[in-house]
Amino acid sequence: MSPESRREQLLELGTQLLSTRTLDEISIEVLAEEAGISRGLLYHYFGNKQDFHLAVVRRAVEQLVAITAPRDIEDPLEQLAVSIGAYLDYVVENYTGYVSLVRAAAGGNEELRAIYEEGRRALTDRIFEVTGPAGLDALGLSDSPTMRLLVNGWAAMLEVVIIDWVHDPRGIAREDLLGRLARALPGIVLA
């Protein structure tokens, strides 16, 4: 098998296994057996277990960022809501995998978290890039350490609320939720 497809196969398999186990519960042994290869071969493609974990998470984050491409809409809040909606839809369609990814990144070591936070950063940055300067002003945003702190907190809130809501969508309709989450940003930074 060609190196590329083999690498891809192993990463894909790792991502799949992530749905049922924690990241470090995926033993090289089980993975190799599941893939029909020897343990040694895994060390040929990835230096060690840690590197394999990094590769799996990196791939998943890249997919997430790639799939949730933003649209361009006039009203800043509406635009924000649509972007959040795309993100939410992705979570809906990949619930178990997404949850596993978040948990793995949150509980992992520094490198793992760095990869994940970089991805989150890319998502939030993109949301604001699409929003023009005038729109940012309308949202009460400016670039300062405090704002970055609060926006980061808002993003963390997004993740938790979205996971909770996808887990049990009763209580509030999708559109209502998106509106509330979008308006929560100025609600926080202007408070």
Instruction: Look at residue 89 and give the partner it binds from DNA, its own copies, none, a contact being a CB closer than 5 to 8 Å depending on partner kind.
Output: none
Picking from 184, 118, 111, 188, the residue whose alpha carbon sits closest to that of residue 149 is: 188
Location of structure tokens 């933003």: 70
Cβ proximity to its own copies, 86 vs 163, nearer residue: 163
109 interacts with, out of its own copies, DNA, none, CB within 5 to 8 A per kind: its own copies
Q: Which is nearer to DNA, 43 or 90 (CB)?
A: 43
> What does 50 bind: its own copies, DNA, none (CB cut-off 5 to 8 Å by kind)?
DNA
**Residue 184 binds which entry of its own copies, DNA, none, CB below 5-8 Å type-dependent:** its own copies
Residues 13-52 that bind DNA (CB under 7 A): 27-30, 36-41, 43-44, 47-50
CB 16 within 8 A of CB 7: no
* Strand spans (E) along the chain: none
Nearer to its own copies, 2 or 144 (CB): 144
Question: Nearest Cα to 189, choosing from 75, 80, 110?
Answer: 80
CA distance 142 to 127: 14
d(CA 163, CA 74): 28
Least distance to DNA from the beta carbon of 20, Å? 14
